[in-house]
Structure 1
Amino acid sequence: MVDVGSAPHAASATTGVAVRTAQTLVFLLSIAYLSIPASRVITTQPVPNAGLALLALTGVALLQFRHTWHGLRGEPPVTWSWTLLLQAILSYAPAPLAGDAWLGVPSFLAASLLITLRSPLSYVAYLAVVLAEIPFALLVHEEPSDIAYATLGVALTGAVVFGFVKMATLVWEVHRLRATLAHRAVDVERLRFARDLHDVLGHQLCAIALKGELAAAVLHSRPESAEREINEVVGLAREAHRDIREVVAGYRSVSLAGEMTGVTSVLTSAGIECEVDTVPLDTLPSDAATPLAFALREGATNVLRHSIARHCSITLRPQDDGLVLRIVNDGVPPGPPHPAGNGLEGLRERLLELNGRLHAGPVGGGSFELVVFVPSLATKAAMVEATR
């Protein structure tokens, strides 16, 4: 069973660590690449030129980090057009001060374009920066034989930085989805618990209330009958306690045969004549018997709550590759039908998980029917075995 309290918090903590790790790797990679032109400027240029070039490179780094940060968050900066334009200026204008040490700086512009712009515009802009490296290399007096190397370096560096940003974004997305799935698992567990609790307490409390009323009605005139009803109330309370413990433990098993006996007993105690026509219940496969037991319980609860029935028929027959349970009762008061409650909705959800079907509604003459189909591949074999 899902740990409702800790699962989402654990998923969130794991997500935070993974995302921070990926972000740190991206920024360290960017710093490593930026250190290459910085070291070349320091070692090859005079102090005035080197100082101005390093100042421009610092601006490139800050803009690159800004674009990367917003890229990791999956959103472009509000002023992305101006920041990209400023980075483009700083990527080319200081070249006369730094010489060939500046050839690799446009690679960060290429990465920023891939990170910030949407495709296919981002790919077109990236390709334009890569191709612009050819005339840029010629302008800074690069040897023609090294132009291909410089162009390839810009293409690869821009792609690698973008790839790491994309990887970090995917890591964040994967962990976000895991956190979402953890929250969803908790929600599913809560719904399962609420549904099972309704199935258990709804019928049991209704039966306890009914038998308590019967005991009170005959307490003075027929004390022996009152004692019998009170003993049954005690038994129902103990059964409800056991069922609740099973629900809390995440295990819920219901006997269809036992449920049929209990339902007919409660309906008969309420003065409702029961007509039961079913296949042998002990031979039914468990994949069909358990949901049918819940359907039988919900149907009987609705008969007691929403009608003044005097007669109720319960039939269970094989159909196609499954079983059909049909509960029909009279005594439905005139007027619009009651809206479907939590019990029927919960039952419908159970059946949908099994590719089953549910129909509930008036059938005329003041009667109401509940029809439930539960598929089971083992049903036909069980029916054949039962008739031998």
Structure 2
Amino acid sequence: MTQTGAPGSRVTARAPLEVRLGRAAIVAFAIYLIFPTLAYYIENPHPWRIPGVLLTIAALALYIAAGCTGPRGPWHRWAVGVMALLVYLPLPFLGEWWAASGVLLAAMALGILPRPYPLPAFLLVAVAETAKSMLLGDDLVGGLSWTLSVSVAAIPLAGLTHFAETARVLYATRAELAMVEVAAQRARAMGELEGILGSRIDAIAEQGRRVVAGVEGDAENVKTELGRMLDMAREAQREMRDFAHREQGLPSGNPDYQK
């Protein structure tokens, strides 16, 4: 999160368009995949109707929270484990309609876990989905067909999750590079300032020594030397003002988006 503007003001910048679009696509597609399950528990007098609605919303919210936040951290791995519990533990009570929630788990395994875990975890979910389908009454062919359906639905959702995270990382990297460049510019500016001050102060000091050496001489010469010192001081002041204007024109280097 970034604050921009004048000192003392706090303005929260929005995330880049690509990141916001990716996250919106994650939310929309996840809702699309789980909506039939949610609609079933809302419309039908299932014995576990209310728990079914609440668990469906919980699974959906967990995926959205994990898929739309970054950078990836340890809690994302824990989120996959929690999703597995949400998918498989309520199955004996919620019936075969709850089986569709396995799509969210498969997508989370592919789209959220860090390497090298996504593929092994996805294969493990595929095996579990096949076994689940067979336990619900399908034969082996039906179980494999169900697993294929889950995989086909989960892969695009995982792809959207990867897209949003990749866009976020790219913009974060660009912001970090901009901050490095601004730091280099400021270092060069400070070197320039040191050179300006050093040369002008040395010149004024030398002129002062001349004035002191000739203080008992001709008053007109002393006045001339003092005038030169004043001119040097004014020139140093002008150069410092020019430097200050250039410094104010440097970019802030703050990332212009919210992670």
Distance of 1:76 and 1:16 partners within structure 2 = 25
Partner of 1:326: none
State the Cα distance separating 1:74 from its structure 2 match. 1.3
The TM-score with structure 2 as length reference comes to 0.71
State the Cα distance separating 1:41 from its structure 2 match. 5.1
Q: Which has the larger radius of gyration?
A: 1
Pairs within 5 Å for 1:135-214: 135-142=131-138, 147-214=143-210
Name the aligned partner's letter for residue 72 of structure 2: G
Partner of 1:77: 75
State the Cα distance separating 1:203 from its structure 2 match. 0.7
State the Cα distance separating 1:157 from its structure 2 match. 2.9
Distance of 1:133 and 1:159 partners within structure 2 = 15
Partner of 1:240: 236
Partner of 1:312: none
Contact 1:110-1:130 within 8 A present in 2 as well: yes
Contact 1:41-1:98 within 8 A present in 2 as well: no
Deviation string, structure 1 residues 151-190 (Cα, Å, up to 9, x no partner): 2232133333322222222232233233334433443343
Distance of 1:12 and 1:177 partners within structure 2 = 19
Distance of 2:70 and 2:60 partners within structure 1 = 16
Matched, 1:119 2:115: yes
Pairs within 5 Å for 1:98-117: 100-117=96-113
Deviation string, structure 1 residues 219-242 (Cα, Å, up to 9, x no partner): 322335434433432442343344
Contact 2:26-2:64 within 8 A present in 1 as well: no
Distance of 2:211 and 2:166 partners within structure 1 = 66
Distance change (3 Å), C-alpha of 1:171 and 1:157: same
| Unmatched 5+ stretches in structure 1 | 252-388
State the Cα distance separating 1:207 from its structure 2 match. 0.7
State the Cα distance separating 1:218 from its structure 2 match. 0.7
Distance of 2:228 and 2:144 partners within structure 1 = 92
Deviation string, structure 1 residues 127-163 (Cα, Å, up to 9, x no partner): 1212333333233234776655532232133333322
Partner of 1:30: 30
Between 1 and 2, higher relative CO (CA 8 Å, sep ≥ 6) is seen in 2
Distance change (3 Å), C-alpha of 1:206 and 1:65: same
Counterpart selection for 1:129 from 117, 125, 128: 125
Contact 1:114-1:122 within 8 A present in 2 as well: yes
Number of residue equivalences: 242
Contact 2:87-2:105 within 8 A present in 1 as well: yes
SS at match of 1:104: helix
Pairs within 5 Å for 1:7-22: 13-15=13-15, 22=22
SS at match of 2:47: helix
Distance change (3 Å), C-alpha of 1:241 and 1:87: closer
Normalized per residue, the structure richer in helix is 2
